[in-house]
Chain A
Amino acid sequence: QARLVQSGAELKKPGASVTISCKASGYTFSSYYMHWVRQAPGQGLEWMGMINPNGGSTNYAQKFQGRVTMTRDSPTSTVMMVLSSLTSADTAVYYCTKENNWKGRRGFDPWGQGTLVTVSS
């Protein structure tokens, strides 16, 4: 059974960077894209981007281009997301989630438990 476990909560100052990790287990890591989605307090879900663990290619939402970097470490089945130049608007819960693709029909499942990032001076 697929499972995603994320790193713990972070408190950062404005202008800093944050790194969040997501360790996968229970499936073939290289076979499924991994996505990052965030949710600001009381707000909806926002797609940030994705990484193909097989080769490491990425695709980022335009809003985060130049500020986000997604990488993977295949030996440990872990993906990482770095978000730089943080502002208070980046305060949110960040989720990693695995993309399932059933003959072209896509869905995100499962999801990590979420990592709260708080940006405050």
Chain B
Amino acid sequence: EVEMTQSPATLSVSPGERATLSCRASQSVSSDLAWYQQKPGQAPRLLIYGASTRATGIPDRFTGSGSGTDFTLTISSLQSEDFAVYYCQQYNNGLYSFGQGTKLEIK
């Protein structure tokens, strides 16, 4: 089973600044990596799939990058609605797993 490790666990950033979230896989997952945003009391929302493709309706301030084992989600110019928990998720050989999440909070 591929283990996903996200860092940091909590990230404090001021509105208008850039946030960089990391996700590392225990073995290569090629580009089979997705990012989700979850707000309290809501279901997760797909942001990025295929490591770098934005899902429908996702603003272009969200950018995914990376391949193999190291991935990054960058949110440029943070808006108030962006403060949430973010999860990465991988697919490998018919199995899926999530990282433990990064909480993005207002500084």
Q: Determine whether B81 belongs to the interface, using a CB cutoff of 8 Å to chain A.
A: no
Interface residues of chain A, those whose CB is within 8 Å of chain B, are 35, 37, 44-47, 50, 59, 61-62, 95, 97, 100, 102, 104-114
The complex places the Cα of A37 from the Cα of B98 at a distance, in Å, of 10
Main secondary structure on B side of the interface with A: strand
**Interface set, chain B 9-42, CB cutoff 8 A to A:** 31-32, 34, 36, 38
Interface residues of chain B, those whose CB is within 8 Å of chain A, are 1, 31-32, 34, 36, 38, 43-46, 48-50, 53, 55, 87, 89, 91, 94-101
A-B pairs with beta carbons under 8 A, tally: 69
Assuming the A-B contacts A106-B32, A106-B34, are A44 and B98 also in contact, with contact meaning beta carbons closer than 8 angstroms in the complex?
A: yes
Main secondary structure on A side of the interface with B: strand
Chain A minimum-CB-distance residue to B50? A105
What are the residues of chain A within 8 A of B55 when measuring CB–CB? 107, 109
Chain A minimum-CB-distance residue to B49? A107
Contact between chains at A105 and B43 (CB < 8 Å):
no
Partner of A102, one of B36, B50, B97: B50
The complex places the Cα of A54 from the Cα of B74 at a distance, in Å, of 37
- For this complex, 22 residue pairs linking A to B, each with C-beta atoms less than 8 Å apart, are A44-B98, A44-B99, A45-B36, A45-B101, A46-B98, A47-B96, A59-B94, A62-B1, A100-B46, A100-B49, A102-B50, A102-B53, A104-B32, A106-B34, A106-B91, A107-B50, A107-B55, A108-B46, A108-B89, A110-B43, A111-B43, A114-B43
